[in-house]
Amino acid sequence: MTAIAFIGLGNMGGPMAANLVKAGHSVKGFDLSPTSCDQARADGVAIAGSAQESVREAEIVITMLPAGRHVLSVWAEILPQVTPGALVIDCSTIDVESARKAHALAKEQGLGSLDAPVSGGVGGAKGATLTFMAGGTAEAFRQAEPILSRMGKKVVHCGEAGSGQAAKICNNMILGISMIGVAEAFVLAEKLGLSHQALFDVASTSSGQCWSLTTYCPVPGPVPTSPANNDYKPGFAAALMLKDLKLAQEAALASGAATPLGAEAAQLYALFNGAGHDGDDFSGIINFLRGPKH
């Protein structure tokens, strides 16, 4: 049994902490939202009065927060209270620069740290089937791996500090671009009188094959489990896709990488979100691409 502190018990952090309790660990949590705390308490998490209090006896500290600024402010607050030898892991999706700053804060305190963002969404958090992409030293990864594997089915060491966040935004930039590509192909097929099923049957076994088509098909029918069959309820909300595409653009600007399609995808998802679809699944962008007359 490991003593774990878990800060940020929202849609993702709540079920992740609950899975650590189920695995037999002692979990002390904290969140600013009383509703999140109540749910976590019902799942067996001991609720602390503050973030600092939650970490005092922890061997592993995990944060799962909205953005880089939250992570940096919480880490600055808790790190002086963390026991020497404990490991601090951030599982939030944040910008690479903030992730590296967080590692530096931990190093100043003599603590090991890991950035370990996830893919798999709320379903993956509940079912303990997340994929973790980790950045940090080999020693930090070795210490974290048995804990992360209780919340996910795959844990990948991507490299040094910040590499987990880098892998996450590169993957999600592929996803945003490929979803728009697949959606455009279905819109064109409709104009050409080609059925959704015919395009699916050909492209899913041809060079157009990709996850956005075969797992997350943006039209109802060919893949019965895709959000298109459930009125585009998320799934993976368009607001989160836009967040990740913006992070990719920030990183591209900072590193000098040319990502013209990533930039276009960010713009299209900004328009889609701005039109009131931020709570829809990101595959709903197909309706936006069809235009208002459809």
**279 binding ligand NAD? (CB under 6 A):** no
Selected range binding ligand NAD among 11-19, 208-216, 260-268, 274-282, rule: CB under 6 A: 11-19
**15 binding ligand NAD? (CB under 6 A):** no
Number of chain residues interacting with ligand NAD (CB under 6 A): 26
- Strands 3-7 and 26-30, sheet pairing: parallel
Helix (H) or strand (E) holding 140: helix 138-148
**176 binding ligand NAD? (CB under 6 A):** no
C-alpha–C-alpha distance, residues 81 and 56, integer Å: 6
State which of positions 198-227 bind ligand NAD (CB under 6 A). Answer: none
Distances (CA, A) of 51 to 7, 54, 72, 162, 279: 7, 5, 13, 23, 29
**98 binding ligand NAD? (CB under 6 A):** no
28 is catalytic: no
C-alpha–C-alpha distance, residues 138 and 146, integer Å: 14
Selected range binding ligand NAD among 28-36, 96-104, 149-157, 188-196, rule: CB under 6 A: 28-36
User: Cα dihedral sign for 93, 98, 101, 106?
Assistant: negative
In whole angstroms, the minimum distance from the beta carbon of 219 to ligand NAD comes to: 22
Contact status, residue 142 vs residue 207, Cβ threshold 8 Å: no
**28 binding ligand NAD? (CB under 6 A):** no
Distances (CA, A) of 242 to 126, 216, 273: 23, 17, 8
Query: Can you tell me which of 5, 6, 8, 111 binds ligand NAD, judged by CB under 6 A?
Result: 8
Catalytic: which of 28, 107, 153, 168?
Answer: 168
Query: Can you tell me which of 18, 21, 29, 30 binds ligand NAD, judged by CB under 6 A?
Result: 30
Contact status, residue 238 vs residue 277, Cβ threshold 8 Å: yes
Catalytically active residues, by annotation: 168
Q: Which parts of this chain interact with ligand NAD (CB under 6 A)?
A: 7-13, 30-33, 36, 51, 64-66, 70, 74, 92-93, 118, 121-122, 236, 240, 243
